[in-house]
Amino acid sequence: MNDKKLTKSIDEVEDKEPTDVHAFIAYGSGFDKQVPNEKYARWVLNHYTLSAMCKLDFNEFMEGNLLFGMYEGKKYRITGASRLGDVWLHSELDPAKAKAFYEKRVCVDDISDWTKS
């Protein structure tokens, strides 16, 4: 697992603190920005942050709803998000071939180009 810090240092912050996943789900990139596929990304991430019981109840509706994004110039499959605010990534794009649930945990601000496939 990569030990990349989930928050930026004071020197790295650009006029604001990093967005945690809950703020991203609630507000997206902001009212003045239209980011392609962001609504879909927010919907899937919302499912990932639900309680275990809700996730189990809703899994049948989530099957096949995969989420992908770019991180550090590489496409990753988004496999989850924690209630602590980080997003989980896996480099294996086919879930059937993945040997682990995630390889990296990163800040939602560091992901771009959300896609369904």
Q: Which residues contact 41 (CB under 8 A, 6 or more apart)?
A: 67, 69, 78, 114
The predicted structure's pLDDT at residue 17: 64
**Among candidate residues 57, 38, 49, 54, the one with its CA nearest the CA of residue 111:** 38
For residues 108 and 17, which has the higher predicted lDDT (pLDDT)? 108
Q: What is the pTM of this model?
A: 0.77
> CB–CB of 102/87 below 8 Å?
no
Give residue limits of the domains in the chain.
Answer: 21-115
Q: Per-residue pLDDT tens for 11-45? A: 443 455 667 888 888 888 776 777 888 899 999 99
The predicted structure's pLDDT at residue 3: 46
Q: Per-residue pLDDT tens for 74-89? A: 999 999 998 777 899 9
- The predicted model gives 37-57 an average pLDDT of 91
Q: How far is CA 8 from CA 22, 74, 102, 111, in A?
A: 17, 20, 21, 14
